[in-house]
Chains A and B, each alone.
Chain A
């Protein structure tokens, strides 16, 4: 196996000297993971941890993985990453948007450790970014939700008003309206990625307001449980399949599948071929999975949803295809025009028809 390279470079040695540390060498490739939630969240962190386990399964004794859970975004994250790098990590995955600056700060101190930051936009020679086109999955969700709703009210639990979440709301709304012009979205902001109590409250409020489909961009299964208790309410698994709530209330899901990417990047570090890249993959390359559409969905809706999924996967259809107007009625995309990645990456407005304001 390749030897650890941190100490090989002058800069790395300088860092070590600055910190007054002894030199160390090891045989295994060490891969670190920084998690924002607990690995048992059943959603976001759970799937990242599955990616970690896939790396272990793929390389066996050739790798060693380490992880830290529940790491707050800020100085604590920077410390955890530094400890990982000092402990000999060759590759570190930082799996939350808020780790962006800490990742870059630590990466600057350890030029020979490779960093992979999820969902951010700042890169460096030893920092890659990666994310998934979740909005592709949201299109399928919106399609199913628009077909299923009888009250024509669809609830949406937003986490933070950042472009990723706003993209998801827009994509789901566009495709719900397409199949059901009377559909309305009720959006509540939880200001958390993972807080079962808050998420359950949000779901209950939405259900009381008459929503019979609840979409969520938060990571716990609490909204699923709330929907189950309420009865005739449909939900979708978020980040993870949440299959324990199938066939009702969970009728399908968006599954983050990080495993192939994590294995590929670990391999690149082992082979010495790792370079800094910006990856944004979707359904086509398997980073976004659509969970089994359950029997609670009528067969024709299921078939059309799967057709939509396949056309997105093949690249034949883009979820943000004009004509589309912004919420204020001004034109965004002309007929047949497709949104470019730059605009999508920083998306900060609702499309026409969505009620309410993005919190500010």
Chain B
């Protein structure tokens, strides 16, 4: 008989093995699904995981990988602080939108003034501030009225989407847009454009910010008092209380970090790849980043790898659609399986399987 037995200590080996095993199981089960759809499974897996990096057109898709992974990593790093401390900000998508809108509004307010040295930094500040503001609402309500931050932050995503639609139709609408909704293109306005820093590298300011966030997060979590508080609060809120950790303050700071970074990601996206405020420019980075955060074990380096892996499945998934005719839904299923199997395998970190009778 199989039984699960709780480990006295979480297994170090499994912490690292679980994500790798999850990827392998996803490949096997995903391959089986592709085979059932009548597509060659090995070729599909190769197209998704290998071709974007080493395939025929990799010189195009490699930079795209960074463009796609940048916002995922930046947002996931922010989320990881709260998630470690048991503070569940599910509304990064909304903070991303508000950050992008604040930044776009700031940039467009100066249009067509030429002053990149002033406008671009102001937009970054506006993006951070917008995201923080949006995250401060669930933080405040949680601290003051003990509301559930999961629900409040999630609901605020829909509010943010409504504001976004209104902005695209009204305040930020391009006056030269032939009556169509949507703002001016910020990536074509030299004072606000977040362009590639090195041609064809895919590296824009947002990618640099993501890497910087990874480094900072690593040191804060490993070396700083705040990182210790975060970990302590997550593992044992009571002990954290005894150790003098102010729970309200911790909630507030964690929410502001995640909101600010999500807002900054929105800023870099709206000024660069996305370019303009439209009714629905958000494509779910804020939600996908939750998967990235967990896939990366809430560890900065893990998140870096997980973000790149997630981007790979997007870009490879598109290639598989084009070259093999795989349906779009099969790719989404594949991405969903990744988190599902990670959570399943994760049991092994805290439990071990025992064969035979329990004593």
Contacts and interface: CB of A to CB of B under 8 A. Distances in A.
Nearest to A163: B179
Interface string A59-85: 000000011111111111001101110
Contacts of A73: 278, 280
B322 A74 contact: no
A348 B322 contact: no
A69 B328 contact: yes
A18 B169 contact: no
Interface stretch (B52-60, B216-224, B300-308): B52-60
B181 A80 contact: no
Interface string B322-337: 1101011100100000
B318 A82 contact: no
A98 interface: yes
A360 B280 CA distance: 15
Contacts, number: 101
A161 B178 CA distance: 13
Contacts of B283: 72, 74, 76
Nearest to A69: B328
B230 to A, nearest CB: 33
B179 A348 contact: yes
B273 A66 contact: no
A121 interface: yes
A87 interface: yes
Contacts of B56: 21-22
Contacts of A83: 57, 60-61, 318-319, 322
B350 interface: no
Interface residues of B, number: 40
B113 to A, nearest CB: 23
Contacts of B319: 83
Contacts of B322: 32, 66-68, 80, 83-84, 87
B105 interface: no
A336 interface: no
B180 interface: yes
A146 to B, nearest CB: 27
Contact of B274 (A74, A86, A160): A74
B166 interface: yes
B67 interface: yes
A162 B173 CA distance: 12
A71 B317 CA distance: 12
A353 interface: no
A87 B57 CA distance: 8
A20 interface: yes
A359 B169 contact: yes
B275 interface: yes
Contacts of B349: none
Given A87-B323, A163-B180, A68 B185 contact: no
Contacts of B191: none
A346 interface: yes
B181 A162 contact: yes
Interface string B89-113: 0000000000000000000000000
Given A66-B322, A79-B64, A346 B273 contact: no
B318 A21 contact: no
A166 B322 CA distance: 35
A101 interface: yes
A161 B169 contact: yes
A346 B174 CA distance: 14
Given A38-B328, A66-B322, A346-B178, A86 B57 contact: yes
Interface string A233-258: 00000000000000000000000000
Nearest to B165: A191
Nearest to B322: A66
A297 interface: no
Interface in B17-67: 56-57, 59-61, 64, 67
A98 B185 CA distance: 13
Contacts of B235: none
A70 B328 contact: yes
A19 interface: yes
Nearest to A105: B275
Interface string A198-225: 0000000000000000000000000000
A84 B57 CA distance: 11
A82 B278 CA distance: 22
20 contacts: A19-B200, A39-B327, A66-B323, A68-B322, A70-B328, A73-B280, A74-B274, A76-B283, A76-B314, A79-B64, A83-B319, A83-B322, A87-B322, A87-B323, A121-B178, A160-B181, A161-B181, A163-B178, A191-B165, A359-B166
User: Which 8 pairs from chain A and chain B are nearest by CB?
Assistant: A75-B273, A69-B328, A348-B179, A346-B179, A360-B170, A70-B328, A20-B59, A72-B283
